[in-house]
Structure 1
Amino acid sequence: MSFFDWPGKSAVGDDPCEHPAVYHMLDVAAVAERLISPFSIDHRLRGALVLLIALHDLGKISDSFRRMLKEDRPQVHRHWELSEALLHSYDQNLCARIGGGPMQRNALYAAAAGHHGRPPDLPLGPLPKPPRSREMHRVMMHVGSGEGPAGEVIEAFCDLWPEASFDGLTDGEALRLSWWLPGLCAAADWIGSNTRWFEALPPGPGLSEYLTRARVIANRAVTEAGLAGATVCDGPVFDFALRPMQQACKDVALADGPMLAVIEDETGAGKTEAALILAHRMALAGKGRGIYFALPTMATADAMFARTAKVIGRMFSNPSLTLAHGKSDLSKDFRDLVEGGATGEDAASCTTWLAESRRRALLADVGVGTIDQALLSVLPVKHQSLRHFGLSSKILIVDEVHEMGEPYVAKELERLLQMHRAAGGSAILLTATLPLELRAMLLATYGGRSETAAYPALSVAGGQTVTGLRADERPSKGPVKVARVESVESAADLIAAGAAAGAACVWIRNAVDEAIASVELLRARGIAAHLLHARYTLADRKRIEKEVLARVGKDGTGREGFVLVGTQVLEASLDLDFDLMVSDVAPVAALIQRAGRLWRHMAERPRAGRPVPDPVLHVLSPDPDSVSDDRWLQSTLGRGAWVYSVADVWRSARVIFARGGIDAPTGLRGLIEAVHGPEAEDAPKVLLNAEAEIIGKRLGQSTLALHNLVDLGAGYRMGGRGNNDATYPTRPGDETRTLMLARRTGHGLRPWADGAGPEAWALSEVSVRVKRLKGVSLPDQSAPEIVAVTRDWPDWKQAEARLCPVGEDGAICEGLRYDAECGLVFVSSD
């Protein structure tokens, strides 16, 4: 039987044509040739990698695969597992043609075969192969009559890439490539399998002729998919006068090879623009062909996407731009880009193909998304290698790095940088409040170090450290005074007085329940306080954020007497400017971030126009000099007492009250190190048990991270297990449950966000910790009105989500209600 007679997939629709497997394999190889061409890889090694990608579906030339297509019989071994077995079986032939050591071929065979998101794991044994083992014999029985034609395909394909060779490749380089090759193969396979570009063709053209045809189609397909690559534009990225850190990024010497830079400066100093200036210079120097901007939350990613879309066309010519997170399809800015296309000749655009899956988002020239999407490239989850391949050509910019200081995420970030450097990638880290110990760990991933404690600072691993930046010439608010507030009632008095004076006021609580209670307290006093936290449906949260930005954003109007109560969502996601601030006591880094929203836009609102004389951070806190037990915080903060390490909060209170203020930027390093540095004060004895418990949890998180992370030295076959994302989370934490809220109508249950279009159900979700739901009897999911909606849900959704009708009075069930202005409210029995 000719190798042309083995189909690669079933005929589509009424068309009886079956695309031969060998044609499909060449389609994918042609796409891979186009995708790999910009990478600096020796042409002989490049040819060998493309050859292996061409052989990625060799297992389709098997009786097992044919029976699956023709007779709908399940396969014992998937076709891609049989691909590796056939490559092992014909290893002597391949060795004679492409060379390389047995360990190298073993690693790269598995990498090409494992293109469906996880590596093959059949017990094939090491190379070179001894006489066929019993296990190999059992596997090859499923190949059956395809074994001979598969060998012919290998020989024929080797003739198509005659210069392909692994000679000179080291074992370490092979292991490194084994993580990268499956991602390249997966991306090429997705495009090469798309019948929009590669239509089924009956056997006819010879392999060489067909490959020539496939290469022409591949060039068009890669371009139309949005993966052709964008040209780096010369010239300035911004037209405004540069601020000190931005100028430093424009002038600093670039390191040789892959490069890491750490930008440390105060909130509002223009770090984002500084990073884009530096990234542009790095791209011009060949250190990356695109950018991935990683943010701590979906909200910050959405905000950064809108900012990036306006400027990225000045850095790259006609770049593809994507938003990468779990709810990107709910972003109006992103949907408008996908549906409306580029807004100018050199502006960014996003193809439908890229927008179809967040896994593809990292393949675009420029991606903006959560850090989680990048961290999945170092966890042994399905399609980990695809994310790694997508990032490898990017300059990775990680914002708000101080948000990632918890041990689990810090270890993930360390491994991400190690893996990115190994693939030839460069990175920029942005932070306002980074402890020196964490900075040292991150710089070490690129072989660098910095001894300076100066702040602000621009540190290039293995290169220059820039300090002593000239003073910013912008109008400055000066030092922020810190004053302790003893009680919730006193805090409410401050807010009431500030609002009466015409000040835009904010009260930041550590816990949602306390924020809701504070709003009720203020409203009882006749103050029209607004509320923002994370326990809203996405539709209501977006609406409230828009209203808040319109009042107290940079260009807000009607801010006089405006009052907002919020939680940690106010620390980073929104560009807000308040005249008066009250905050629950929290770790010093959080207090610094919160203070960054106080008197933020001095050029637009100078001191003389403010209704209060000075910027003051009023901190609701018990006296840190009077600690009688480990419940020191509870009587003052309620549930907010359990959010952070009590010892860290105590140290922060001691330091910040003793110093009496926050002097940015020069005083920030001292505040951070006084809490987190080696000379930090010992906590009172009554807090030691609580601190020991936290230390134990952190050590456990660090150990768990080391267990979960991929082992670069093990290679893809041994280290890439392709597990479920939920089994290997990017962040540790309590289990959550999704509540999908609904309204009762005459036509059955409808989404809470009714009228929002096809995404209405997604906009009606609220996430809440499972622990918080203990003792709450959620609506019976077997009720007919609920089943009418959920019966078509996939199994995973039925397991993770609960549909919750909301009564006209807001009641969901006993003890739980929802209100569009207050969010999800837990109602106590009293």
Structure 2
Amino acid sequence: MKPSPWPDWMDHILAKSQQYGGETLAAHTWDVLVKLSDLYRLRPRLDNGSQLWHCLYWAAFLHDFGKAARGFQQRLRGGQAWSHRHEVLSLAFVDTIADGFTPEEQRWLVAAIVSHHRDEPEIAETYPPGLRRDPLVDLCNELEPQVIDHLQRWLTECANPWREALGLAEVVGKITPQSVTVNPKRVRYWLQVYHDWVAANDPAARVPGILLRGLITTADHMASAHLHRVPPPITEPWSALAKRLLSQGQQVYDHQQQSGEMKGQSALLMAPTGSGKTEAALYWALGDGAAPPARIFYTLPYQASMNAMYDRLRQNFGDELVGLQHGRAAQALYARFREGEEWSAAARRVQWEKNLNILHARPLKVLSPYQLLKALFQLRGFEAMLTDYAQAAFVFDEIHAYEPERLALITGLMRYLREQFAARFFVMSATFPQLIRKQLTVALGDVPVIQACPEIFTHFRRHQLFLCDGELIDPTTIAAIVAEVQAGRQVLVCANTVARAQALRDQLAQAGLTDDQLLLIHSRFTYGDRSRIEQDIRARCGSNVTPRPPLALVATQVVEVSLDIDLDTIYTDPAPLEALLQRFGRVNRKGAKGICPVYVFRQPTDGQGVYGRDRDPQQAGHIVRVTLAELEQHNREIIDEAAINQWLDNIYADPVLSQQWTEAYQRMAQQVELIINGLRPFQSDEQREDDFEQMFDGVEVVPQCFEQAYVDCLVQERFIEANDYLVSISKQRFAILRNQGKIRPAEEVGQRRVWVALLPYDSRNGLSFGDTTYDPDWS
């Protein structure tokens, strides 16, 4: 709906080409201001007493005035390309309102206008000073006198009434615009003000600069995408959600109620697996509904667990409020949207969901910490990312799952967002060893620790530990697993490497288990097969499944926190205690089966190229041996969940482990400090994208048997389906295979290129490397 007054005299001036709707300049500007007002209502206290919203409103009103240029209008109507920057030309109108701003606010105003598309170095390169003929002269000549009059009349007659119509009069001051002449010298002056402000690199100006650019680009992109409205925060109080869950048969534990009553504080939660940590986190984020967080981010370490959490939260809050963001989110969303829809309609929905993530338009988002960390690496658009994190609530689940280097990155981001953007955090785990709690205290301050009551820990005593001689792959162990399955039980068999898991599945099949009694999951399946297997596992082993068919589920670490499953017992390779506890958590998950045995083998103790592979070879597997030594103290005991923290503290008290962990953490923490100190608004850094990509040890390949199907999908532009044929392998393994001549390029289609793995693949075992020894692709 158009506001009143409306500049009808300008309806011939466009902001978008006919290809993108032919939207007029006035209509687009109004939509940007609407989105800006929505963002204000989302974070009304973001300005902290400054004139942030005042500067943003007037910058947004002026930001596209330069689009009225003759050459730009011709281009929108199908003419030739225009070599200038319209946002620089918009600076010609700053003098009309400059008297309504202090010098500092003038810098903010100019920066918001000129930076909403391009970084400062690119603008400086396009319009360098000191040339014999200033390129700004030709730029200003692009505005015809009648068009200038139209723009000034629009500003004079509409700007103040529009701010009132949008409900912004309290934070946006009234200005009486002055009539000015478009002058290249004045544009140069304001451009230099911008360059000088950025060059000064005043630490006190960094956060305002981030917010200015983040908010105006977000509002502009939302308007350009024709987003109907910016979704408001979720205002439901925690008690209302608890009541809904009570009606579904869930109860409210004391630690959940304490979480809901934290009133805007950060907190740590320690509670057993299966005791409602997810609900506690949601209660904490919602609070009493009086001051809802601008956004809620729920982070998890593994894609399968993110996908499952996305489904769970959609059931609680609805599709419109929940988003999903990780490296394979498109695959996960496509699999869900394909149910009952044509592939093209499902693909369009996936693209729209991706757009909504880019636009920061979901009140509740499930994602990986690595999506958050992009902002620290100053990738393009990082200001909008950081702005989206302002005054947000972050849930970090399974914090123990990260290696010390990754944890240092995460805690560094936590501290930065807490100190600079008023973000708060809820960090939860079944265990919090002192090493981790110490670093969380540095990041979050002296936050309260919510702990499940002793009765809860007693209730969740559900496992009896048995240490076994020999190895998981010994014939006697294989026979024992087969006997368990044939007796009607569901058995989790957990190996540390993919090759070992594949060998175990083959041995169990040879020992008499049928395909219906065997499932294998690891990271070396195609994305399509992995999704199918996960669905099969949930259907047969899910926490609420009845009846439960006998089964041996063979898995690697992907099972540790990826799937909400509930088996009867486990046979596992030795591993660090945190990993073992997560594996145990897939057995007797709710404690409804009494006490179930969990079997850990004493061999091999070398870490198998998984644990400690980057450390001193003489110390390889040291953490496994120290863990086994601690477990020996509790062999055949019922595991006391309340004592686990002490077990972990005993393990990390080992001088070698303590030194290794601390040194690794501190090395990365020092780098994080340098990264944060190097953050500069208006200056993204494409070179840092390589640094970010180094965090991920993966190369995508397509097994040779799927090469033609993959290429066919690309030719048909069914790109999401094409990705179903890909497998991720480690960079180290990729190099080995390439040197062996087992990797070659696939046929190129358009801009896409992928590598073909000349290796056997089948839907039961996945991609096989043909070895059972050292295996760097451990998950």
Say which is worse superposed, 504-513 or 409-418, in terms of deviation. Answer: 409-418
Query: CA separation in 2, counterparts of 1:165 and 1:379?
Result: 36
Give the match for residue 53 of structure 1: 60
Superposition map of 1:129-528 within 5 A = 134=130, 138=134, 140-141=136-137, 143-146=139-142, 157=155, 160-161=159-160, 164=172, 175-194=206-225, 222-223=228-229, 227-232=231-236, 235-237=240-242, 238-239=245-246, 240-250=250-260, 252-254=261-263, 259-281=265-287, 284-312=289-317, 320-331=321-332, 335-336=336-337, 355-357=353-355, 359-360=357-358, 362-392=360-390, 394-419=392-417, 422-446=420-444, 448-449=445-446, 461=447, 464-467=448-451, 469-472=453-456, 475-478=459-462, 480-487=464-471, 488-489=473-474, 491-528=477-514
| Cα displacement (A) at 1:91 | 6.4
Query: CA separation in 2, counterparts of 1:521 and 1:260?
Result: 49
Query: CA separation in 2, counterparts of 1:791 and 1:756?
Result: 10
Aligned length: 699
Query: CA separation in 2, counterparts of 1:362 and 1:408?
Result: 24
Superposition map of 1:20-35 within 5 A = 21=25, 24-35=28-39
Query: CA separation in 2, counterparts of 1:532 and 1:372?
Result: 24
Question: Is 1:595 the counterpart of 2:584 in the alignment?
Answer: yes
SS in 2 for 1:738: strand
Task: Give the one of 576, 600, 613 matched to 1:618.
Answer: 600
Query: CA separation in 1, counterparts of 2:273 and 2:35?
Result: 44
Is this contact kept in 2: 1:51–1:157, CA < 8 A? no
Give the match for residue 211 of structure 1: none
Task: Give the one of 637, 654, 672 matched to 1:680.
Answer: 654
| Cα displacement (A) at 1:639 | 6.8
Partner amino acid, structure 1, of 2:141: S
Query: CA separation in 2, counterparts of 1:107 and 1:338?
Result: 49
Query: CA separation in 1, counterparts of 2:9 and 2:204?
Result: 33
Query: CA separation in 2, counterparts of 1:319 and 1:137?
Result: 54
| Cα displacement (A) at 1:36 | 1.9
| Cα displacement (A) at 1:559 | 4.5
SS in 2 for 1:249: helix
Is this contact kept in 2: 1:354–1:361, CA < 8 A? no
Is this contact kept in 2: 1:535–1:823, CA < 8 A? yes
Question: Is 1:656 the counterpart of 2:631 in the alignment?
Answer: yes
SS in 2 for 1:381: coil
Q: Which structure shows the bigger proportion of residues in helix conformation?
A: 2
Query: CA separation in 2, counterparts of 1:702 and 1:380?
Result: 17
Deviation string 1:132-177 (CA, Å, 9 cap, x unpaired) is 952797452452314797997589648724974699xxx8775323
Query: CA separation in 1, counterparts of 2:295 and 2:543?
Result: 30
Partner amino acid, structure 2, of 1:227: P
Is this contact kept in 2: 1:504–1:561, CA < 8 A? yes
Is this contact kept in 2: 1:662–1:668, CA < 8 A? no
Question: Is 1:777 the counterpart of 2:752 in the alignment?
Answer: no
SS in 1 for 2:492: strand
Query: Percent identity at matched positions?
Result: 19
Say which is worse superposed, 638-647 or 264-273, in terms of deviation. Answer: 638-647
Give the match for residue 633 of structure 1: 606
Relative to structure 1, the CA distance from residue 697 to residue 118 in structure 2 (aligned partners, 3 Å threshold; closer, same or farther) is farther
Give the match for residue 763 of structure 2: 820
SS in 2 for 1:326: coil
Query: CA separation in 1, counterparts of 2:470 and 2:272?
Result: 28
Is this contact kept in 2: 1:737–1:770, CA < 8 A? no
Partner amino acid, structure 1, of 2:31: D
Is this contact kept in 1: 2:602–2:628, CA < 8 A? no
Partner amino acid, structure 1, of 2:681: Y
Is this contact kept in 2: 1:362–1:391, CA < 8 A? no
Query: CA separation in 1, counterparts of 2:717 and 2:765?
Result: 20
Deviation string 1:207-265 (CA, Å, 9 cap, x unpaired) is xxxxxxxxxxxxxx533xx5355543563422132224223324x4425xxx3121122
Relative to structure 1, the CA distance from residue 724 to residue 550 in structure 2 (aligned partners, 3 Å threshold; closer, same or farther) is farther
Relative to structure 1, the CA distance from residue 554 to residue 61 in structure 2 (aligned partners, 3 Å threshold; closer, same or farther) is same
Task: Give the one of 749, 757, 773 matched to 1:791.
Answer: 749
SS in 2 for 1:666: helix
Partner amino acid, structure 1, of 2:455: A
Deviation string 1:571-598 (CA, Å, 9 cap, x unpaired) is 0011222322222222221112112122
| Cα displacement (A) at 1:494 | 4.1
Question: Is 1:530 the counterpart of 2:519 in the alignment?
Answer: yes
Is this contact kept in 2: 1:229–1:365, CA < 8 A? yes
Query: CA separation in 2, counterparts of 1:339 and 1:59?
Result: 47
Is this contact kept in 2: 1:3–1:22, CA < 8 A? no
Give the match for residue 183 of structure 2: none
SS in 1 for 2:141: helix
TM-score, scaled to structure 2: 0.77
Is this contact kept in 2: 1:818–1:825, CA < 8 A? yes
Say which is worse superposed, 154-163 or 92-101, in terms of deviation. Answer: 154-163
Relative to structure 1, the CA distance from residue 332 to residue 69 in structure 2 (aligned partners, 3 Å threshold; closer, same or farther) is closer
Query: CA separation in 1, counterparts of 2:707 and 2:379?
Result: 40
Relative to structure 1, the CA distance from residue 368 to residue 725 in structure 2 (aligned partners, 3 Å threshold; closer, same or farther) is farther
| Cα displacement (A) at 1:823 | 0.3
| Cα displacement (A) at 1:536 | 0.5
SS in 2 for 1:536: coil
Query: CA separation in 2, counterparts of 1:410 and 1:767?
Result: 25
Query: CA separation in 2, counterparts of 1:75 and 1:47?
Result: 32
Is this contact kept in 1: 2:491–2:551, CA < 8 A? yes
Is this contact kept in 1: 2:524–2:729, CA < 8 A? yes
Say which is worse superposed, 51-60 or 514-523, in terms of deviation. Answer: 51-60
Partner amino acid, structure 2, of 1:254: K
Relative to structure 1, the CA distance from residue 355 to residue 466 in structure 2 (aligned partners, 3 Å threshold; closer, same or farther) is closer
Give the RMSD, CA atoms, in angstroms: 4.4
Is this contact kept in 1: 2:222–2:359, CA < 8 A? no
Question: Is 1:667 the counterpart of 2:643 in the alignment?
Answer: yes
Give the match for residue 768 of structure 1: 729
Show structure 1 runs of 5+ residues with no match.
126-131, 198-220, 341-349, 450-460, 608-613, 623-631, 805-811
Give the match for residue 681 of structure 2: 716
Show structure 2 runs of 5+ residues with no match.
1-7, 164-168, 176-201, 342-347, 774-779
Query: CA separation in 1, counterparts of 2:40 and 2:278?
Result: 30
Superposition map of 1:98-117 within 5 A = 98-101=101-104, 105-106=106-107, 109-116=110-117
Query: CA separation in 2, counterparts of 1:659 and 1:136?
Result: 83
Query: CA separation in 2, counterparts of 1:124 and 1:154?
Result: 29
| Cα displacement (A) at 1:732 | 1.7
Is this contact kept in 2: 1:45–1:166, CA < 8 A? no
| Cα displacement (A) at 1:566 | 0.8
Query: CA separation in 1, counterparts of 2:356 and 2:410?
Result: 20
Query: CA separation in 2, counterparts of 1:75 and 1:534?
Result: 49
Query: CA separation in 2, counterparts of 1:358 and 1:419?
Result: 22
Is this contact kept in 1: 2:525–2:727, CA < 8 A? yes
Give the match for residue 626 of structure 1: none
Partner amino acid, structure 2, of 1:668: I
Give the match for residue 200 of structure 1: none
